[in-house]
Amino acid sequence: MLSEKYATNSIIVTGHSLGAALATIMAFDLLYVEKSELHPILITFGSPRVGNKYFATTMNDFDIYSNRITHYYDIVPHVPQEFMKYSHISHEVWYNEPNTKYVICNDDTGEDSKCSDSCSPIHCTSTSDHLRYLNINMGSGGDC
């Protein structure tokens, strides 16, 4: 088993965009389904909403380190829309447009209207903000 081979129970699970959604599901699977001895550290960038309120509440109840990093007017964190009953997991860290300052959001009971949700529903349309996180270009033409 990996935890024995590397003498650790921690695993960092990360991803951008669809990879962030998959990372969230993997962390949930390790914690809820597998009840694994591995303790995931979850860090996502530009994640869409992954599940419903029950999923988000259940995920938030686990005692893990988790940061859901969003960049300014990135469009992806706003899909699928909330009216379709999708919810984000908590611990959003919202970066300003030049990626020089951030806000640790108060989103334990829902999305913080002072963070990424502040531009919703009509201003969160930027694909360029989605493709640039922490001054690193993402995607097929990017740095990673």
User: What pLDDT, in 10s, does the model give residues 98-126?
Assistant: 999 999 999 988 999 999 999 987 889 99
DSSP 25-93: HHHHIIIIIS--S-EEEEEEESPPP-B-HHHHHHHHHS---EEEEEETTBSGGG-S-GGGT-B--S-EE
First-to-final CA distance of the chain: 29
| pTM (global) more than 0.85 | yes
The whole-number pLDDT of residue 141 equals 74
The whole-number pLDDT of residue 142 equals 67
Q: Is the pLDDT of residue 45 over 70?
A: yes
Q: Is the pLDDT of residue 67 over 90?
A: yes
Average pLDDT over residues 58-71: 96
Q: Kindly list the structural domains of the chain, giving each domain's residue range(s) and its CATH number in brackets, ordered by start.
A: 2-137 (3.40.50.1820)
